[in-house]
């Protein structure tokens, strides 16, 4: 039996979820240890690395949540439907981004709305 587009979407989402969880495990936040601060520069670069890791982790967490939400929509039979306008999301868009929750129009509006 050939897999349906929804089977393929589920497989892609589960794979993406695994990858994101792996990435998150690799990004372990190191607590700064004052004893290892050799200089101001070393301290600054450690703080920078920590902030970068935190930002990465944050972004990663958001992606995992988006994948989880997409899997929930799959189970609910609402996968591929824009959560904002209720129209079908273009198959090309879902192929490129299986966790997409919005159609391209709503995504554009949301992105434009962020510029303030």
**Binding positions for Zn ion, rule: CB under 5 A:** 82, 84-85, 103, 106
- Joined tokens for residue 33: 């240890």
Considering only CA atoms, which of 21, 6, 107, 32 is closest in space to residue 61?
Answer: 21
- Looking at the Cβ atoms of 42 and 85, the one nearer to Zn ion is 85
Question: Would you say 43 or 90 has its CB closer to Zn ion?
Answer: 90
d(CA 22, CA 98): 18
- 13 vs 82 by CB, closer to Zn ion: 82
Min. distance of Cβ 45 from Zn ion in angstroms? 43
Report in angstroms how near the CB of residue 18 gets to Zn ion at its nearest.
28
Return the number of the residue (56 or 106) whose C-beta is nearest Zn ion.
Answer: 106
Least separation in angstroms between residue 66's CB and Zn ion is: 15
- Least Å distance, CB 104 to Zn ion, is 8
81 strand-pairing partners: 88
Cα 88 to the center of its chain, rounded Å: 21
Contact by Cβ (8 Å): 35, 46:
no
CB atoms within 10 A of CB 100: 20
């Amino acid at each position: 039996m050939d897999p349906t587009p929804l089977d393929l979407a589920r497989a892609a989402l589960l794979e993406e979820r695994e990858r994101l969880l792996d990435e998150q495990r690799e990004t372990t936040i190191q607590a700064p240890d004052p004893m290892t601060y050799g200089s101001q520069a070393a301290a600054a670069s450690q703080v920078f690395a920590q902030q970068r890791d935190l930002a990465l982790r944050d972004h990663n967490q958001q992606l995992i949540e988006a994948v989880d939400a997409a899997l929930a929509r799959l189970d609910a039979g609402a996968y591929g439907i824009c959560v904002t306008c209720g129209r079908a999301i273009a198959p090309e868009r879902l192929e490129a981004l299986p966790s997409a929750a919005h159609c391209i129009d709503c995504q554009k509006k949301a992105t434009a709305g962020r510029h303030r």
